[in-house]
Amino acid sequence: MIVLGIESTCDETAAAVVERHEDGRGRILSNVVLSQVNEHAAFGGVVPEIAARAHVEALDHIIASAMGEAKMSFDKLDGIAAASGPGLIGGVIVGLTTAKAIALVNEKPLISVNHLEAHALTARLTDNTPFPFCLFLASGGHTQVVAVRGVGEYERIGTTLDDAIGEAFDKTAKLLGLGYPGGPQVEKEALRGNTERFALPRPMFGRNDADFSFSGLKTALRLEAEKIAPLTDQDVADLCASFQQAVVEVVLDRLRAGLRLFRARFGAPTALVAAGGVAANQAIRKTLHRLAFEVGTVLVVPPVELCTDNGAMIAWAGAERLARGFVDPLDVAPRARWPLNEVTGLKTAGQYRTMPRR
């Protein structure tokens, strides 16, 4: 089964071709990603209208590059998958409309993919991770602990009550005058900083639930920065180190609680899986390794290029859904908001229209 995947939910224009074997193994035939970082850097964050226009200008070329790299023609595809949300609605519309056009002209099935589901299922592409596993989804827009029980079977165990973890990193970078995107800049500065200089809070620490909160931490950092302004280079490094250490300790505590809740509800997870751009942070990765060892499970973290937004994860999620007969009509709507626990699958397969393969 060979599927083309299109990703355009934020500031990466991406397309990929992925093959799924009958035994569930996956293989990436191509994965082309065009970042819009330079277009948004001057604004310190993603500008939705600029992102949508950039997708319009680049997407046809990116798809052609992905198809060429895979040595694939449209008639050989088994399906066309597109990220239909959640995300910036302008970009989502661009990708989904393009996928609909390709599916209609070539008489191929269309698979509407939830962007978060694609992150969740990437571990099955890279490591063939069996269900059920515990997912830590950490990105610029999302921070969740999710029980992944099957394709289309997701139960949220914990979530952020305010800022996402990646958003907190980006806002910290902007506050301290660092570059965009902020996460890698904060991590870089933290390497030369003192983690103990500033006594920042650990929000939600010790609670029985698995929810997160980063708004108070961000505010505390701003207050500390204002006390010692103007900031020296070492001040910035120490603030970043103290901030990142607080985040690491919060992640460790919140995931411990999440794994306890997972075991109580679903039994032992097959793995702890980390996905999303924040999973590329090395300090957080070390913490996740420690936690997985502590609870007696394995840690699965896809390669960095598959943690950030990409077309391969969309194509793979599409292939996983198509293999189970989940196909969407051409009038499926784009969605700016689409919680992962609202994604349907095995239990509601009757609502899907399955198109015959040619």
Question: 72-100 pLDDT, tens per residue?
Answer: 999 999 999 999 999 999 999 999 999 99
Do 211 and 298 fall into the same domain?
yes
Do 298 and 313 fall into the same domain?
no
Burial class of residue 154 (count of CB atoms within 10 Å of its CB; 0-12, 13-18, 19+): buried
Do 167 and 103 fall into the same domain?
no
CB atoms within 10 A of CB 311: 32
User: Is residue 358 included in any domain, yes or no?
Assistant: no
Domain harbouring 341, CATH code: 3.30.420.40
- Is the distance from CB of 325 to CB of 13 less than 8 angstroms? no
Do 318 and 229 fall into the same domain?
no
User: Is residue 356 included in any domain, yes or no?
Assistant: no
Lowest mean pLDDT among 26-30, 217-221, 249-253, 344-348: 344-348
Do 211 and 146 fall into the same domain?
yes
User: Is residue 357 included in any domain, yes or no?
Assistant: no
Q: What is the pLDDT of residue 345?
A: 63
User: Is residue 109 included in any domain, yes or no?
Assistant: yes
Do 109 and 158 fall into the same domain?
no
Do 157 and 294 fall into the same domain?
yes
pLDDT level of residue 358 (50, 70, 90 thresholds): very low
Residue 354 scores a pLDDT above 80: no
Q: Is 314 helix (H, G, I), strand (E, B) or coil?
A: helix
**CA–centroid distance for 224 within its chain:** 31
Residue 327 scores a pLDDT above 50: yes
Do 159 and 86 fall into the same domain?
no
Do 161 and 99 fall into the same domain?
no
Residue 128 region by backbone torsions, left for phi larger than 0, else alpha for psi between -120 and 50, else beta? left
Residue 355 scores a pLDDT above 80: no
- 233: Cβ contacts below 8 Å, ≥ 6 apart: none
**How many separate domains does the chain show?**
2
Do 213 and 254 fall into the same domain?
yes
- Is the distance from CB of 123 to CB of 151 less than 8 angstroms? no
Burial class of residue 156 (count of CB atoms within 10 Å of its CB; 0-12, 13-18, 19+): middle
- Whole-number Å distance between alpha carbons of 28 and 122: 11
- Whole-number Å distance between alpha carbons of 79 and 174: 41
Residue 181 scores a pLDDT above 50: yes
- Is the distance from CB of 62 to CB of 17 less than 8 angstroms? no
**Between 264 and 353, the higher pLDDT residue:** 264
Q: What is the pTM of this model?
A: 0.91
Assigned token pair, 37: 């970082």
Do 157 and 284 fall into the same domain?
yes
Do 203 and 265 fall into the same domain?
yes
pLDDT digits (tens, 9 = 90+) for 131-153: 999 999 998 888 999 999 999 99
pLDDT digits (tens, 9 = 90+) for 257-269: 999 999 999 999 9
- Give the pairing of strands 79-85 and 26-35: unpaired
Give the 3-state secondary structure percentages of the chain, helix then strand then coil, rounded to 5. Answer: 50, 20, 35
Q: Which domain holds residue 332?
A: 2-123+306-351
Percent of the chain past pLDDT 70, that is, above it, reads 96
Q: What is the pLDDT of residue 322?
A: 97
- Is the distance from CB of 117 to CB of 343 less than 8 angstroms? yes
- Whole-number Å distance between alpha carbons of 224 and 186: 16
Percent of the chain past pLDDT 90, that is, above it, reads 84
